[in-house]
Amino acid sequence: MQTKPNQLLYLSQAEVANVGLTMAEIIESMKIMFRAKGEGRTEMPPKPGIHPGGGSSFLHAMPACIPDLNSAGIKWVSAFPDNPSKGLPYISGLVIFNDFATGLPLAVMDCVWITAKRTGAASAISARHLARAESSVMGMLGCGVQGRSHVEAMKVLFPLKKVLAYDLSEAARQQFAAEMSRQFDLEVVPVAAPREAVSGCDIVVTAGPMMKKPHATIQDGWLDEGAFASLVDYDSYWQPAAMHEVDKFCTDDRAQFQSTRQGGYFPDIPAVHADMGELATGQKPGRESAQERTMTANLGLALNDMAVAPLLDQKAREKGIGTWLNL
């Protein structure tokens, strides 16, 4: 494995993707991280943000440390909702990965691929605790970057057979269905109404735009008994009455969830049953019956990114991928 004194490794967006890290490897690393988090062996201060673009755009600083994975670093990520209309990406940013023992910067890497994959992985790990193990039908609302990574991640942990795909854009759902069915050997059916991607599904994922004033399309009575839902776009898709129908409402980190609520999101939700650390260590039970409706709102943790960064750094060095830059 290559190391060079006084140099760091830069990995572009294409290089990060070309490292060849698999979703199964990401999930394994994140499981180690969630257990360590539940046992109090991680560090993750609340993320500070700045808001240069106005509206709901932001830049967040996301530092975290995971001693079990020799991982320390920070993600500096932006989300600018108006960018796609200008032909620019909604999410962009960088991860700085530091040497755990010396603090020296080891690598700087584009964060878009990492953000996409770790978010799908986090939902799948939540589902492992909260969904029925035999779940085979998935409803996907929002067929973009997250839609793709969620199908990939759920396929690693569940015997998925069918995906019902809804997107506001008909072209997006058609393209998603063609691409995902080919890539993952699944039946992927584009549907024209949101309810068709909720009722009748074992696993429901909402990943449309994040809105401070939710469009709240999903109503009570839509989510089946025994189903699990992951709210990747916060509470944007769900009416309060639909969220109050669930037996267990979870999140990835209680403190972060609390601070997000103080910012005006999730004004009317059920009590939080558990976070990912509590589920991973068994401090709180996951699913306890086939009938329960369960739900998680994972807001995205710096710990997720820092569970992926060391794997990318190591593989890139082994394969000779990236550009060396002087410190």
Ligand X SMILES: NC(=O)c1ccc[n+]([C@@H]2O[C@H](COP(=O)([O-])OP(=O)(O)OC[C@H]3O[C@@H](n4cnc5c(N)ncnc54)[C@H](O)[C@@H]3O)[C@@H](O)[C@H]2O)c1
Only one of the segments 7-15, 145-153, 271-279, 306-314 lies at the binding site for ligand X (rule: CB under 6 A); that segment is 145-153
Give, as ranges, the residues between 36 and 65 that touch ligand X (CB under 6 A): none
Return the residue of 2, 70, 136, 169 that touches ligand X, per CB under 6 A: 169
| CB-based contact 211:236 (threshold 8 Å) | yes
CA nearest neighbour of 238 among 259, 263, 261, 267: 267
Piece in contact with ligand X (CB under 6 A), picked from 34-42, 141-149, 155-163, 307-315: 141-149
Residues 280-309 that bind ligand X (CB under 6 A): 298-300
3-state secondary structure of 250: strand
Binding to ligand X by CB under 6 A, coded x per residue (else -) over 218-247, reads --------------xx--------------
Catalytic residue among 4, 31, 47, 75: 75
**Is 251 near ligand X (CB under 6 A)?**
no
**Nearest residue (beta carbon) to ligand X:** 144
> Length of the chain in residues, anyone?
327
In degrees, to the nearest 5, what angle opens at C-alpha 172 toward C-alphas 88 and 227? 115
Least distance CB 150 / ligand X (angstroms)? 9
Whether 75 is a known active-site residue: answer yes
Question: Is 216 among the residues that bind ligand X (CB under 6 A)?
Answer: no
89-108 residues in contact with ligand X (CB under 6 A) are 90-91
Stretch (H or E) spanning 150? helix 145-157
According to the binding rule CB under 6 A, does residue 70 interact with ligand X? no
Chain residues that interact with ligand X, rule: CB under 6 A: 79, 90-91, 115, 119, 141-147, 166-169, 172, 207-210, 215, 232-233, 298-300
